[in-house]
Chains A and B, each alone.
Chain A
Amino acid sequence: MNTSFLLFALLNPLFALLAAPLYMALIRKVKAYAQGRKGPRLFQVYYDLKKLMQKEAVYSPTSSWIMRFTPYLNLSTLLVCSLFVPLVFVPEPAGGLGNIIVFLYLLALERFFTALGGLDAGSAFGGMGSSRSMSLAAVIEPTMVVAFAALAFVLKSLNLHHMFALTAGTVLPISPTLVLVSISLFIILIVETGRLPVDNPATHLELTMINEAMILEQTGKNLVLLELAHALKQFLLMGILINTILPVGLSTEIDAGKIAVSALLFLLKAGLLAIIIGLFESALAKMRLFRLPAFYVMAFFFSALTILIEVFA
């Protein structure tokens, strides 16, 4: 473990944790504008989290340790994940961290415990949400694996740190096939963070909710942890997409000025991506549950094409 990595381990999760909720708010704001509303202030999300933090956690009498444990596990898993995706600068590689397979399994672990937490309270909604989430997971997991395999194929490494060290410094994506992978990554981002047309994060309607149903029984600071974990997941997936398609400005050296510029540029690029996501969501209606696999297959199609092109061309 070297100093560069220690600095990274300190800065990267902190940066991700602080900035992540802002982009949830930004997407909400863009959607509000698209619908002709003004929407809440950008920093309202931080006030909400602070308010929730002061509230008492209430548990259902049927719930077990899983419900108490899930929020902590989710946030800590996502914080570990944030060590895998360089956002402010690319550190010198340290053993095992950055491995894409571990990253995917950590995301799967988080998803599994969210579903368990949804079941644990014993309410009808939680069970419904968990069941939907798991059946969709069965379809999206292989797609995710193929998409990340395609990414690994193009960038010739299984390690996210190596990949981003390769792309850092270039303005445009280093291979045209990265355009194809980025479409898959965008679809995965939409699906994993439960956005339209897969899930509607802004509703508590029984017919549409998937992610909301699973955390419906969580209250107080447990809810804060889950919300933060959700925001963090979205921010990290956005980070992977941005560093793949538009890596300009990502620093590979430890230099205060360069790191600051790199972080600022990343915030700007993430802002742009959040606006695109907001507009994308505003343009689409919620899909029927049984039509969702068609949406995922698009991601699968593009990732498989990438692998084909990389092998042949």
Chain B
Amino acid sequence: MIDPLFLEGIIKVLFVFVLISAGLIISTRNLSSVLTTYTVQSFLLAAVSFLLYLMDGKGQLLLLAGLTLASKVILIPYFISRIEEKIKIGRDLHFAYLEPTPSLLLSIGLILLSYTFLSKVFEGLPLSKLFFFGAVIGLSLTLMGMLVMFSRKKVVTKALGYLSMENGVLMFGLFVTELPFIIEVLIIIDLIILVMLTTILAVGMDSSIEEYRQKFRKLQVWTGVESQ
């Protein structure tokens, strides 16, 4: 049996790396780097889940680690890297509302906000410090993913922002809520993401939202009629 204190230490180190990856997703302009960072972030979450399994011994946690590894570390990055090969653009240089610098500063504020908020919510609950901190990081990861979604213009980065947001939900679920429920939700969310990705793949991800809508109209995807 491994010493739980040692495991807790490792989980804390992983928390630090999760935060680093979130910061990188917000500020990196290179598309393939964003994807790599997302893959690493998902891998870290799988590792956290596995370590929690070693601490608690609950089978669901192991299942969750396996599921995360298969879907978010292997399958989804594979899909997106295929897309990135197809669209032939290496960088996402356009930002709406916020450039990376203010986004990073804002995300410090978001972490602070989620801490203050959660400490009010969990007041009086018997949650250990590690679990509380995991919840704070989960919530801030969700908010930071949201920040990526609305500050980036290219669809592919928006999708990665969404995926990173979902990683935050997973993290929050790992440390706070009941597990069997969250596993089901996760599987459904993963499926939705896959469907979304394949849909976008069909039309073209190399565009901003406005261009994307034009492409949609041009193709008449919904009515099935080819445009002139």
Contact = CB atoms under 8 A, between A and B. Distances in A.
A179 B13 contact: yes
Given A312-B136, A313-B129, A183 B112 contact: no
Interface in B156-206: none
Interface string B92-107: 0000000111001101
Contact of B115 (A177, A298, A300, A312): A312
Contacts of A302: 20, 23
Given A308-B111, A312-B133, A301 B15 contact: no
Interface in A287-313: 293-294, 297-298, 300-302, 304-305, 308-309, 312-313
A309 B23 CA distance: 15
Interface of A is mostly: helix
B20 A313 contact: no
B19 A305 contact: yes
A86 B154 CA distance: 49
Contact of A177 (B16, B27, B108, B112): B16
B228 to A, nearest CB: 43
A308 B119 CA distance: 14
A79 interface: no
A180 interface: yes
A183 B222 CA distance: 49
Nearest to B13: A176
A294 B12 contact: no
A102 to B, nearest CB: 28
Nearest to B129: A313
Contact of B19 (A180, A297, A298, A300): A180
B57 interface: no
A308 B23 CA distance: 15
Nearest to B109: A304
Given A183-B20, A298-B27, A312-B115, A304 B99 contact: no
Most chain B Cβ neighbours within 10 Å, of A179, A294, A300: A294
Contacts of A309: 15-16, 19, 133
Contacts, number: 57
B129 to A, nearest CB: 7
Nearest to B99: A294
Nearest to A176: B13
B9 interface: yes
Task: Among B20, B129, B136, find the residue whose CB has the most chain A CB atoms closer than 10 A.
Answer: B20
Given A176-B12, A176-B15, A301 B115 contact: no
A305 B108 contact: yes
B4 to A, nearest CB: 16
Contacts of B13: 176, 179
B95 to A, nearest CB: 11
A117 B217 CA distance: 63
Interface in B101-134: 101, 104-105, 107-108, 111-112, 115, 129-130, 133
Contacts of A308: 108, 111-112, 115
Contacts of B9: 176
A297 B105 CA distance: 8
Contacts of A176: 9, 12-13, 15-16
A96 B154 CA distance: 54
Best-buried of B9, B104, B105, B112 by chain A (most CB within 10 Å): B104
A302 B19 CA distance: 9
Interface of A: 176-177, 179-180, 183, 293-294, 297-298, 300-302, 304-305, 308-309, 312-313
29 contacts: A176-B9, A176-B13, A179-B17, A179-B20, A180-B19, A180-B20, A183-B20, A294-B99, A294-B100, A294-B101, A297-B27, A297-B100, A297-B101, A297-B104, A297-B105, A298-B23, A301-B107, A301-B108, A302-B20, A302-B23, A305-B23, A308-B111, A308-B115, A309-B15, A309-B19, A309-B133, A313-B15, A313-B130, A313-B133
Smallest CB-CB A-B distances: 3 pairs = A176-B13, A313-B133, A301-B104
Given A179-B16, A293-B101, A297-B104, 7 more contacts: A180-B16, A180-B19, A297-B101, A298-B104, A302-B20, A305-B108, A313-B133
